[in-house]
Chain A
Amino acid sequence: MSSNIDLKRGLDIPITGKAAPFISKTIVPDIAAVRPGDFNGLVPRLLVSEGDKVLCGSPVLADKLHPEILLTSPISGTVQAIVRGEKRKLLSVLIKSDLEGACAEFDVSGAKTPEGIRDLLCKSGLWPWIVQRPYGTVANPDARPKAIFVSSFNTAPLAADNEFAFASEIQYIQAGIDALALMAGCPVHLGTDGSLKDSVFDSITGVEFHKFKGKHPAGNVGVQISHICPIRKDETVWTVSPAGLSAIGKLLRKGRLDLYRAVAVTGPMAIEPSYVRTIPGMSVSELAGYYGNTPENIRIISGDPLSGRKCGIDGYLGFFDTQVTMINEGTEREWFGWIRPLRYKQFSTDHCYFSWLTPWRKYDMDTNIHGGQRAFVMSDPYYRKVLPMDIFPIYLAKACLAGDIDRMERFGIYEVLPEDLALCEFIDPCKNEIQDMIAKGIDLMRKEMA
């Protein structure tokens, strides 16, 4: 079964620095980090101490709520440091590579039954690839999802092109999908890019295809779910990214943990943007060749510029991220920006400027927010034009601000993650942090509904 869905609303942000489709190098990082902060809803319990030797695939952390869920080391080496923040919150476990590449062997012969697959994924540290909706947390192994959703394409600005990144990994993705379908016993929906004539994902079997055509956020799995079968109260669905499926497939085929994947190094400040092959947790300083000699003024983001995480040159690539973006910190101040008629170098979707008349142009965007923060002035439809979902974004954001559970429920908190409203935040003339409001609303829901 397949369906075609045309999404009219959305916005592709014209930012320079798209990665050229070739792998410029494979990075075997010297230091890799396991960051519990990458996983929503996971309460980490430390399983190693400094100086311990670990293999690629050895457990490093476990979830306190579901002790069977493990986080494992992406490389072999020694635990160099355990980094804690305020109130001794565990921030990351740093592992120094011994360059031997020794891997823990997993017995995949048991992965013929739902329980066997579940145990294998938990043990190997691949379970956290399965994200549960509502709320976008690490999936509960005991839950029975209604369906599994996979989006095969990214529409976020400068995002990695999955057609290129996974061209040679379709067999693993197929193996991953088969295993998850068997384990969960529910349909798998695959959202593909309807603007492509043929996609490498077309050959996948055992899924329901849905072709989505449209601008960002058409590739966000949350938007796709809301058009395929929206999430209602007390329902659970799972989402997995192609990178996760590929890692699961490789584990099943090879019996070893292999997290290497193509990561797009992008952004206006990236020197010769292209792809690298690397693992999650890679130290960003490994990308020194891409940001040049003056990293002080560059913001390095693990993820896309709309909803990625600021990580800095001493940071680490996020577990789920297949993109690193480098943009200039925009601290320069422009004279009379609000009245200058053209502001040729700035992009705006609003017709108060003229950049909408030159849709072919790309812009060297920076991190300046171009204004001061204000209360919401514009009305809901202003934001809705970039959100192809049947919800009222500003009503939802205000309900989250007010902490009003009933209204959050009515306005669709179960269906969104902050990333789905990232474009609303981008175009907001009042410069509100809408994603943060939604994230806090989701946290409140999780606390209250637990």
Chain B
Amino acid sequence: MNKIFEKGGKLWWLHSTADAFDTFLKVPGTVSGKGSSVRDAIDLKRIMIMVVIALVPAALFGMWNVGYQHNLTLGDGRLQILANFWYGFLHVLPLYLVSYIVGLAIEFGSSQIRGEEVNEGYLVTGFLIPLILPVTTPLWMVAAATAFSVIFCKEVFGGTGMNIWNPALVARAFLFFAYPNQMSGSQVWIPNPGPDAITGATPLALDGPAQYGTGFWDLFIGTTPGCVGETSVIAILLGAILLLWTGVASWRIMLSSVLGALFVGGIGQMAGVTGIACWEQLLIGGFAFGTVFMATDPVTSAQTNCGKWFYGFLIGALCITVRLFNPGYAEGMMLAILLMNTFAPLIDHVVVSCSISRRNKKFNAA
């Protein structure tokens, strides 16, 4: 790196930023100090970029769907891949710009204050935030939510790796509680609807696909209104395959979350609380997106293999419980994950304590 960024140099106050760009271009030339002389080629940049790549299908589809939903309200239901994508791209791009500019500025600044290298965690958070918001969210709200979550949910704890809650979800929760009108209802999903438009709520808010007239394939492919990235289960599954292949996300959490949702959804269906089949719960709302990309965040999820089963199961179960019993706001995924983020350390504590006492018993018997 250039000398002016080194300690004592004129631009020392920018060294974290300079280092971030420098290591973005080239792998650092750092050699190992104490301890192991050789190291695995994996680093956090690689892991984070895998998550971003896994999110790309959902993002691309989301952009297309924004255009598609818009044209649908104008009475034009053709697929028009490029035209719809371009329309959506122009509406989603500002969200991305705001999310990255605000978030990275805070991230760079606080890394500088702490005198550390810039952590890659925000690459993922910044990519997630626009995908879990309605496309009509005003940009200043995105900026405020991003700033709130990065500062109060991440930097105050010491940066990536130290946070308790998933920062992207905290951004969404901030908007949900501060500006509820912008986050749900039937007006927020489609930019500039046509004058005669029958604007729609999400299938979830209408109590299921049956009433909305959407079938399995609409939900699976994702041609329904919703947050930018959450609608297409097939795009999310593509991302899930990459995350599971690379081992970045835990299959235990994904599987147990699905099981939890099926369990509560099944009970609800049998008890007659809801008309939605339990498997349909997996397709609607933010369940799939949350299960694959948010619940599996390695920092805020449970840290032990056994704990991951409980953690995932409870997320799925809580999400569907909220859906069944909260008619005012049916989307339970965000709150389920945030709640379980809060309890993940407790789950781990119990798992680790049990493991240690089982071990001690084994010792004493031996």
Contact = CB atoms under 8 A, between A and B. Distances in A.
Interface of A: 13, 15, 157, 229-230, 232, 299, 301, 305-308, 310, 325, 327, 329-339, 343, 346-353, 355, 365-382, 390, 392, 394-395, 410-411, 418, 422, 425-431, 433-436
8 contacts: A301-B37, A338-B27, A350-B40, A350-B46, A352-B47, A374-B44, A374-B160, A429-B43
A367 B41 contact: no
Which residue of B37, B42, B121, B363 has the most chain A CB atoms within 10 A of its CB atom?
A: B37
Nearest to A343: B41
B310 to A, nearest CB: 14
Contact of A338 (B37, B49, B363): B49
Contacts of A376: 161
A329 B47 contact: no
Contacts of B352: 392, 395
Given A332-B29, A368-B30, A379-B298, A13 B38 contact: yes
Contacts of A431: 39, 43
A427 B38 contact: no
Which residue of A338, A355, A425, A436 has the most chain B CB atoms within 10 A of its CB atom?
A: A338
Given A375-B159, A379-B298, A379-B301, A426 B39 contact: yes
Given A379-B303, A426-B40, 14 more contacts: A157-B38, A337-B43, A350-B42, A352-B248, A369-B32, A370-B27, A371-B28, A371-B43, A371-B46, A372-B23, A374-B120, A390-B359, A394-B303, A434-B35
B27 A334 contact: yes
Contacts of A418: 35
B271 interface: no
Nearest to A432: B35
A429 B38 contact: no
Nearest to B31: A367
B303 to A, nearest CB: 4
A327 B121 contact: no
A370 B41 contact: yes
A339 B250 CA distance: 22
Contact of B38 (A353, A367, A381, A394): A367
Contacts of B117: 372-374
A329 B43 contact: no
B40 A337 contact: no
B299 interface: yes
B155 to A, nearest CB: 12
B152 to A, nearest CB: 18
Contact of B36 (A232, A307, A346, A392): A307
A307 B45 CA distance: 26
Interface string B289-303: 000000000110111
B254 to A, nearest CB: 15
B32 A367 contact: yes
A425 B38 contact: no
B267 to A, nearest CB: 30
Interface string B140-160: 000000000000000000111
Contacts of B36: 305-307, 422, 425-426, 435
Contacts of B43: 337-338, 370-372, 429, 431
Interface of B: 19, 23-47, 49-50, 117, 119-121, 158-162, 245-248, 250, 298-299, 301-305, 352, 355-356, 359, 363, 366
A333 B28 contact: yes
Q: Is the interface of B mostly helix, strand, loop or mixed?
A: loop
Contacts of A381: 303-305
B45 A367 contact: no
Contact of A410 (B39, B245, B356): B356
A275 B97 CA distance: 60
A347 B44 contact: no
A347 B40 contact: yes
Nearest to A385: B247
Given A372-B117, A427-B42, A334 B26 contact: yes
A352 B45 CA distance: 11
B304 A372 contact: no
A436 B34 CA distance: 7
Nearest to A395: B352
B35 A378 contact: no
Contacts of B28: 333, 369, 371-372
B37 A327 contact: yes
Contacts of A348: 40-42
The 4 closest A-B pairs by CB, nearest first: A371-B43, A375-B161, A338-B45, A346-B41
Contact of B37 (A334, A349, A367): A367
A422 B37 CA distance: 10
A336 B32 CA distance: 20
A371 B27 contact: yes
A136 to B, nearest CB: 15
Contacts of B121: 377
Given A329-B31, A370-B27, A381-B305, A351 B246 contact: yes
Nearest to A365: B38
Nearest to B34: A436
Nearest to B119: A374
A332 B30 CA distance: 9
A301 to B, nearest CB: 6
Contacts of B246: 350-352
A334 B24 CA distance: 11
Contacts of B301: 379
A377 B31 contact: no
B46 A378 contact: no
A377 B40 contact: no
Nearest to B53: A339
Which residue of A353, A379, A381 has the most chain B CB atoms within 10 A of its CB atom?
A: A379
Which residue of B24, B31, B359 has the most chain A CB atoms within 10 A of its CB atom?
A: B31
A379 B39 CA distance: 18
B41 to A, nearest CB: 4
A49 to B, nearest CB: 33
B341 to A, nearest CB: 13
Contact of A427 (B37, B40, B46): B40
